[in-house]
Structure 1
């Protein structure tokens, strides 16, 4: 069903996701001492029903009963439940599609520890829910969580009508991949921690709704992304090329069946003094990554530096015209000035 958002919002009532994902094997761990097992079971059941209503293929029951655990035993509980679920699944050895986790409202480092273990050690998709939402269990909250779960398991919530109709200029006329890149630096005073570079890239076309992401540690406070393109010597294979751009281009080709004929690269977090330096280094890395796939493969690249810290302010001629301003009086996106 086509939906026209109003002031950045739309309502999912009586609507389904464009492509519902599949969750056949799932489990729940409860780290909140205020939530009894029965309350956790009811919450998970209602969430499963909402996922089904929203368009997902979601198994109504978990592979194992809800497990209650203490926050200080997070690693032990996660790994034990992961292996127990694999043994209990049919056929045995099938991994979990989703782990639902109930957290205390004030959980300190628990959330970060849990995500680190699930993402980097177990390779497990997780959805965390706070205790206050378990008790309240509003339909709106359950619908919002269902949208998050669907994206995490590979589904698609929404697609732009103009994308399906091939009406987005410079994007839908030919296979286009959109990158986003940023570097996060340690806080002042941390002299040894590495900077973290992150790159995401679209993995479908013309919809452009699915993204894959890569992260890489690099030298302390280094703004140029070092791992966009890499060359190294392998004893068996000789000279080997790789890096984040090449990996994401290959992933796009594998997902869509065609290589990108246009690259749009959004780069965040660059100060004006580093514009030229970043452009030269990173555009060169993109060119080399393309050439390493095929000798003459050089699709056009649009390199866009995104800046949020600026002092440009736009004002509407008529603050009462709801067609051009939102509730706060800000000009709506897409309007030309």
Structure 2
């Protein structure tokens, strides 16, 4: 083998090693060629708001509530009471974000790996029309156990263009964090929030009315992490007696008239 051939082979091997990335996350896409060189600069206002994310890693905890609760509204009440009672002491002053199901997130670790709590939730007992409804406490056992770390570093790397893979898990967790405060004040439906305090309501007929609200979602953009907010509206049942609702929904003029089997089936479907 001549000296020139040996030298060329060595250069080829070095070049190949340089081109091989250590992982898919380390690959950087080619930069976009020059743009915005013609036309007139202008400012466009949009329903997007830049979000600054701290460097703190997030901690994910599994939550188990016994007896089991199917209502997300009730699970939030249980967890809100737990944070109110134990937040400053056993939770180390952390303000957790709860998804309403089985996941809890904190910015920084809790002072334990696994722990059980007992909370007594006040419940109203008796008929809604009763002049003296009684209140009783229902005990719940809440188990909180560390599950995993959610690394914010990957999100920062992606937003800086140093990582190709979108860190969807981190964005979803931050979405939950931002939904926690409005979930306590408004009625949450998916990514949207509704309340009679967010705008004028209106009657739709058949015992329904519309409420105004807003939709929010976190999205990664070329400028950084953005919070997108849109106006929204949704139909809700009117807060009226069931008998009045049935009369409106079925256009009954005489509420004393008995329901037919067909109408009874329709009522059951409405409240199923």
With normalisation by structure 2, the TM-score equals 0.22
TM norm structure 1: 0.19
Of structures 1 and 2, the one scoring higher in RCO (CA 8 A, sep 6+) is 2
Larger gyration radius, structure 1 or structure 2: 2
Greater strand share, structure number: 2
